[in-house]
Amino acid sequence: MIENLLEPFTLGSLTVALLSLLLLRQLCFGFISRGKRKDLPGPRALPLLGNLHQLDLKRLDSHLTQLSQKYGPVFRVFMAHKKVVVLAGYKTVKQALVNQAEDFGEREVFPIFHDFNKGNGILFTNGNQWREMRRFTLGTLKDFGMGKRIMEEKIVEECQYLIEEFEQHKGEAFDGAQVISYAASNIISTLMYGKRFDYKDPNLQAMISRDQEIIYHTGSPSIQMYNIFPWLGPFLKTWWVIMRELQTRAKHGKRILTELKESLNPGKCRGLVDVFLTHKKDLEDADVNNLYYHDDNLLHTTWNLFAAGTDTTADTLKWGLLFLAKYPHIQDRVQEELSRVVGNRQVRVEDRKNLPYVEAVIHETQRLANVVPMSLPHRTSRDTAFQGYFIGKGTMVIPLLTSVLYDESEWATPHTFNPAHFLDDQGRFVRRDAFMPFSAGRRMCLGEGLARMVLFLFFTSLLQRFHFKPAPGVSEDDLDLTPVVGFTLHPLPHKLRATDRF
């Protein structure tokens, strides 16, 4: 009977029938699965525009934080056709970036980020390119003393140059923003090139000014629109400004690399660039297929480190001095602890454990300053289940650091400068898991250890030597803490007096 039923079928037709049944089963399973998935909450989107008409692109992090209060810690918005998942609050961001690090570990590469790197470097890459450059960079920076005593000596030396610059103003009000950036940049320059630049060097001044311009414009509403509609680029003045600065930066960077190549001594590497060039030559001599060690990758890797290491560290120092000038009772307590524990000698990293209030003030500065409010955008590496929601592979994800650093369930007074956030009842320093200015997980800042050392030594060296006050005629209450909003947040232009303590 069965044989008779099968007789009309050929092997080919039977195979087609089986495949059809399997396909039908898969489709049914897919519909059932989708029916069980919860839709991500979020504001109602319009065709073509998505939610663009509703979003405040001038301060997107604050607006998304407000939306999270309505839609919860995981929600979605549409940037025109592009779906973006927003993660808000400490617990949610930690779950994604730490507990599900592989799922949320890729970088979303905006069109402007591609303009920056063209697929090279560390910050705006994925896959083997990112892994190899991160491995090489971390290993090399550690070899050159990142986090060790040898690096501490170089930072202390740079502190003295910065102090001398402040002393030249003899207690008169001045804007120290640029010279602080020069000092922070010199720490990276020492690691990259094996040398520092004089603060009056026009090349250093031009490089800092150029990078600040690029970083500021990258966060502008017009460039956010370009990231959504790349065809807009040539019609946007801001895009042309960035392209011009990128071209100038590339010429300057190539000139420095050429000089380093001409003076290269493989037996005595001065910094990361020398190590990269030496490794590149070794691969060429061994006739090994070299995918990563080429000049474009070197150029963009060094710029990534300069931009990330200079801007965020310098901005945090600027915020710190502004906070202390605004809150003199906190500055007095910092200086009392420094005098009692350290005295007049040079502060060392090992003193950190005996300076709990100083540590609390530095951490609170990083928290409240919120220099990188939305981190760098992430992307899911695969289909992901998260808090009951389905997030497809390749979805852009914003870990909203503003919502972490100002999380009302984690911080007693999230919107005020309060060092007690990092102190226990006995005045001992307390680490807080919700302290995430460097982000978290696979993509957290690879220079965190260096940044912490620079902030501690610069901050304490300046506070040992100077007392910071508002300019004459300006009260503490008049000091404005409103940030200048670009891709990062830095203080408005202002002048302070650095008066001698001794």
Query: What is the per-residue pLDDT across 270-326, written as a single tens digit (0 to 9) for each?
Result: 999 999 999 999 998 888 888 999 999 999 999 999 988 899 999 999 999 999 999
Q: Residues annotated in the binding site for heme, as ranges?
A: 445
Q: Is 23 exposed, middle or buried (0-12, 13-18, 19+ CB in 10 A)?
A: exposed
The whole-number pLDDT of residue 30 equals 41
3-state DSSP assignment of residue 275: helix
- Who wins on pLDDT, 1 or 106? 106
The whole-number pLDDT of residue 144 equals 83
Q: Is residue 28 part of a domain?
A: no
Q: Is residue 7 part of a domain?
A: no
The CA distances from residue 291 to 45, 258, 298, 359, 374, in Å, are 43, 21, 12, 43, 32
The whole-number pLDDT of residue 37 equals 67
Q: Is residue 31 part of a domain?
A: no
Copy the structure tokens of residue 424: 């226990």
84/392 Cα distance (integer angstroms): 11
131/114 Cα distance (integer angstroms): 18
pLDDT band at 31 (very low <50, low <70, confident <90, very high): very low
Can you give the residue range of the structural domain that contains 183? Answer: 39-500
40/388 Cα distance (integer angstroms): 9
Q: Is residue 6 part of a domain?
A: no
Q: Is residue 417 part of a domain?
A: yes
Residue 461: CATH number of its domain: 1.10.630.10
Q: Is residue 82 part of a domain?
A: yes
* Phi, psi for 193 (deg, rounded to 5): -110, -15
Q: What is the pLDDT of residues 37-78, one digit of tens each?
A: 688 999 999 999 999 999 999 999 999 999 999 999 999 999
The mean predicted confidence, pLDDT, of the chain is 91
Q: Is residue 371 part of a domain?
A: yes
Question: How many domains is the chain built from?
Answer: 1
Q: What is the pLDDT of residues 232-276, one digit of tens each?
A: 999 999 999 999 999 999 999 999 999 999 999 988 999 999 999
Q: What is the pLDDT of residues 135-175, one digit of tens each?
A: 999 999 888 877 678 889 999 999 999 999 999 999 999 99
Q: Residues annotated in the binding site, as ranges?
A: 445
Copy the structure tokens of residue 389: 């929601």
Q: Is residue 29 part of a domain?
A: no
Amino acid present at 149: R
Contact 288, 442 (CB under 8 A): no
Copy the structure tokens of residue 178: 């640029």
